[in-house]
Amino acid sequence: MIHLSKRESVIWAKMRSEGGMGEHLWLPLITHLFDTQSTINWLFNHWLSQEQQEILSQGLSNAATEKLVKFVGFTHDIGKATPAFQTKPSYNGDKSLDDEMGERLIRGGFAELDRKKLSSPSKSPHALAGEAILDYFEVPTSISAIIGGHHGKPTSSSPRRQIKVFTSNYWQSDNDQVLQQHWRDVQKGFFNYGLSSSGYQAVDELPNINQPQAVILEGLLIMADWLASSEHTENDLPLFPLIDMSKSWDDINMTGRFQQAIQNWYLDGEWVPQKVTTSEDPYQARWGFKARPVQSAMTEAIGKAVDPGMVIIEAPMGLGKTEIALIAAEQLAYIKGEDGLFMGLPTQATTNAMFGRVSDWLKLLAKSQGENFPIKLMHGKAQFNENYSKLPNASNIDNAGAVVVNSWFSGKKSILTKFTVGTIDHLLLMGLKQKHLFLRHLGFSGKVVVIDEAHAYDFYMNQYLYKAINWLGAYHVPIVILSATLPKEKRNALLKAYLKGKYGKKFKQSFEAPEGWQDTQAYPLLSLLDGNHLKQVTKFPGQSDQLPVKLTVQRVNAADEDLIQAVLKKISHGGIAGVIVNTVKRAQELAKLVPQDTKLMILHASFLAPAREKQEEQLQKAIGKHGNRPSKMIVIGTQVLEQSLDIDFDVLYTDIAPIDLILQRAGRLHRHRLNRPQALKMPQVFVMGINGFGDYGDANEAIYSKYLLMKTDHYLPETITLPDDISTLVQAVYDSATDSEVPDIDQAKLTFKTDFEREKQKARAFQIKLPSDRPNATIHGWLDRDQADVDKDEQKANAAVRDIKETLEVILTKHTAEGDFLLDGRKLSDVQPQEIAQQTIRIPAAVTPQIDLAIDRLETLTNLYYRDWQDSRWLKGALALPLNQDLSIDFCGWHLSYSLALGLSYTKEDEHG
């Protein structure tokens, strides 16, 4: 049992009053320090993955690392042992509680505390004060900086002059030695408890650590502090509650308190990855189908790696890359000692489609271990995903072998869930300067990371992707990257980003790779970093058994009416025609021309969220792998149709796009073995929007670089053989060495290069720096920035890493003289708030160039019609866009209208007439 002086025992960490009788509660600082020390030590030993433990232990023994972890946990709030904090009013402003606590401090030996008014207590917030105190006690700067940053953002530099400049904040008086000594003794007492309880004899035993170690330790400290500050679980089971003011430190059974808290909090099972044996077909065991040659060869190669880092899988659409990746996740987790997974995808639609597949795989793992494994769907509409919402809460399930949701891991803690499926933004945000970024790094550093559709990210997003990979390399995190159409330049950049993060800028000195690795056009291709050695697998015995698919390619330059007539003629004897266009407006215009007697499905981003999710589900049921295919149908959609959706067209019409995206779209053509109409037995692709070489229309050229469109147009052949021609075509378009073969390309190339450099520079402005393994590289200044607030607004953060204009999400309603309704006709008063909250859509950025004015207008409308929304946890803060009887509204100079068939459209008010 620790023996405290009277002064140390009365120092408080938390206090509040609650209940109608004003019950006064508090928590002694010593209690919170030991709570946090015990929690972070448990997390280090039982929650971190083996690889995370090894990263933290670089240059240290495991025992020495555990000492450091405990020391940081104990001393994190030592800055509360100051007059600046102890004279703070209670959180809920209860003066009687403040007076009672003040009297307790005075009785405890802090004389004149009620009479000494500090001039500037706000200049020494407790995290900063804690760092200053540790600096005063000569703790290594790389450690004390962690204390200063444990509320999410470290200081710009070491606060060495804090105590000298704001002496009374630390010692009550600028010059009264007697008063000062009380605080010096208390701070020294807490510091010594921190040393001794962690296993240190003296401060000079504390080590220096490098920056990646500090980032992970900071994340672990923030997690431990938040957990040790949680009083109850969602089910009201006790964690670390406050105590009545009549009780003291001596009345608390600290061991029992901690054990009960962990027992109530830790509801998840621990994944213990097993070696994947290839003596029996692992694909047959997991999914009931025989592995294809490419799948077998890649799985075997990955299993032989000793120190696997990055795995890049390039293979045709529909070959089963997802299954390769999931087995690879098991293999890599076993070899590297990871205990979780992040699967990142380009959009919410692709994330929803992938979630069910990952959840099914995870259920197999859970059953094999007899454990419950937690999963998190990470995107802005996750709570409305039906598959996700049906999963049981971890606290409400007793039987083992289930996939569950743990509600404690929410908000900024979401990424700490061991298994996560989300949009790629969550990974890209590893590179953005943002408060509490340490938690994101902690979450990713213990997982196998899978990046699907790696070709889908533009130049700006790629800069954040490379920065995230730098840091994942520093943490030795295994990464699996999937693509059917990856330019070799990007493949090489991904590999170099990982090597630079893992080995530093001088990685080339020890890097080994096969001759010609940078220029290989082999396809399929496995590129595997094993330590500092790149291995590439290009031969797949038995692959020739899979027959290639030959596509005919024709350019179509027709008016919209003529185009739809051509599509109708093409499927006159049956068939499914896919029409993929580059803008929502064009999709809507074409859809209007389809006769009512022809079955039509439309998919784009300008539908209400529930309608879009339903459309995706209906599309999969109609033309997915096991779909109930209609005899004749036209599907019109935007780029979402090219990504991860396992659907099958008989014939494809596509707007001009860069070659890799055209090939992705073509990958939805004749994807499955089906009996097709006679006229469509040969797969055909019709490319629209080519008015002439170098002229692709303003809309297409606004979305895609004219340089890439010209090269695509030049190299696009009349016949494509899949998969044989994929790599050849992609490399021809993206390799600058082939530019000389394309006529009149110079100006487009110059514009492309200028835009590329501008995007790189813009991305760097708000990025964290490369990881540094120098012993004197602290986390000071790591998140310093001058940028719009992205700390609390997820949409602003996502916009920052995608370089897109911020848009406004609104709830669409219908407001008439008869009352307020949802757009499907149901009266608003008859619908639950949770369902109303789902009726969201994003207003196109073109409509809100002055976004603050648009917000003011929406807030006025919302307060006018739906003031009671502020009383609902589902609707508080939501913005309504109330449409009239005709489902339209004039808004900020635009006429907006919604169609249940076509979605949201917009025109200038003066054009609307």
pLDDT digits (tens, 9 = 90+) for 342-390: 999 988 878 888 999 999 999 999 999 999 999 999 987 787 788 898 8
Judged by average pLDDT, the poorest of 78-87, 503-512, 802-811 is 802-811
pLDDT at position 793 is 61
Q: Is the dihedral of CA 159, 163, 164, 169 positive or negative?
A: positive
Q: How confident is the model at residue 791 (pLDDT cuts 50, 70, 90)?
A: low
pLDDT at position 384 is 75
What integer is the mean pLDDT of 755-766?
A: 82
Q: Answer whether residue 794 shows pLDDT above 90.
A: no
What angle, 0 to 180 degrees and rounded to 10, lies between the N-to-C axes of helices 746-764 and 459-474? 50
Q: Which of these, 89, 84, 74, lies nearest to 163 by C-alpha position?
A: 84
Q: Which of these, 866, 870, 872, 881, lies nearest to 811 by C-alpha position?
A: 881
Cα gap 331→326, rounded to integer Å: 9
Instruction: Provide the percentage of residues in the chain whose pLDDT is more than 90.
Output: 73
CB neighbour list of residue 485: distance below 8 Å, 6 or more residues apart:
455, 659, 660, 661, 663, 664, 726, 730
pLDDT digits (tens, 9 = 90+) for 392-414: 888 877 777 889 999 899 989 99
For residue 777 the two structure tokens come to 């590289």
Q: Answer whether residue 475 shows pLDDT above 80.
A: yes
pLDDT at position 830 is 93
Q: Answer whether residue 223 shows pLDDT above 80.
A: yes
For residue 827 the two structure tokens come to 């009266």
For residue 75 the two structure tokens come to 């001393």
Concatenate the DSSP letters of all residues of 167-236 into one string.
Answer: HHHHHS-SS-HHHHHHHHHHHHHHHHHHHHHHT-SSGGGPPP--HHHHHHHHHHHHHHHHHHT--B-TT-
Q: Which of these, 423, 493, 413, 399, lies nearest to 47 by C-alpha position?
A: 413
Q: Which of these, 149, 305, 187, lies nearest to 780 by C-alpha position?
A: 149
pLDDT digits (tens, 9 = 90+) for 805-835: 667 889 999 999 999 999 999 999 999 998 8
Q: Answer whether residue 49 shows pLDDT above 80.
A: yes
Amino acid at 736: S
pLDDT at position 796 is 65
Of residues 231 and 852, the one with the higher pLDDT is: 231
pLDDT at position 864 is 93
Cα gap 415→67, rounded to integer Å: 26
Q: What is the DSSP letter of 634?
A: E
- Looking from the CA of 307 toward its CB, the CA atoms found within 13 Å total 9
Q: How confident is the model at residue 2 (pLDDT cuts 50, 70, 90)?
A: low
Average predicted confidence (pLDDT) for the chain: 91
pLDDT at position 800 is 67
pLDDT digits (tens, 9 = 90+) for 233-244: 988 899 999 999
Counting DSSP H helices and E strands in the chain, the numbers are 34, 26
Of residues 225 and 7, the one with the higher pLDDT is: 225
CB neighbour list of residue 530: distance below 8 Å, 6 or more residues apart:
305, 306, 307, 308, 309
Q: Is the dihedral of CA 568, 570, 576, 582 positive or negative?
A: negative
Containing 452, the helix (H) or strand (E) segment is none
Q: Which of these, 389, 387, 341, lies nearest to 365 by C-alpha position?
A: 341
Judged by average pLDDT, the poorest of 50-59, 397-406, 790-799 is 790-799
Tokens 């444990």 belong to 150
Q: pTM score, two decimals?
A: 0.92
pLDDT at position 318 is 81
What integer is the mean pLDDT of 3-26?
A: 86
Instruction: Provide the percentage of residues in the chain whose pLDDT is more than 70.
Output: 96
CATH number for the domain formed by residue range(s) 547-734: 3.40.50.300
Kind of pairing, strands 403-404 and 808-816? unpaired
Cα gap 63→573, rounded to integer Å: 74
pLDDT at position 542 is 73
Cα gap 462→796, rounded to integer Å: 18
Q: Answer whether residue 847 shows pLDDT above 60.
A: yes
Of residues 159 and 456, the one with the higher pLDDT is: 159
Cα gap 882→324, rounded to integer Å: 47
Instruction: Please tell me whether residue 398 adopts helix, strand or coil conformation.
Output: coil
pLDDT digits (tens, 9 = 90+) for 257-308: 999 999 999 988 899 999 998 889 999 999 999 999 999 999 999 999 999 9
The CATH 3.40.50.300 domain(s) of the chain lie at 282-539, 547-734
Cα gap 144→136, rounded to integer Å: 10
Q: How confident is the model at residue 788 (pLDDT cuts 50, 70, 90)?
A: low
CATH number for the domain formed by residue range(s) 12-265: 1.10.3210.30
End-to-end CA distance of the chain: 82
CATH superfamily of 282-539: P-loop containing nucleotide triphosphate hydrolases (3.40.50.300)
Q: Answer whether residue 564 shows pLDDT above 70.
A: yes
Mean pLDDT comparison of 380-384, 847-851, 893-897, highest-scoring range: 893-897
For residue 865 the two structure tokens come to 């019609």
Q: Is the peptide bond before 487 cis (omega within 30 degrees of 0)?
A: no
Q: How confident is the model at residue 789 (pLDDT cuts 50, 70, 90)?
A: low
Helical residues (DSSP H) of 735-836, grouped into ranges:
746-764, 794-802, 833-836
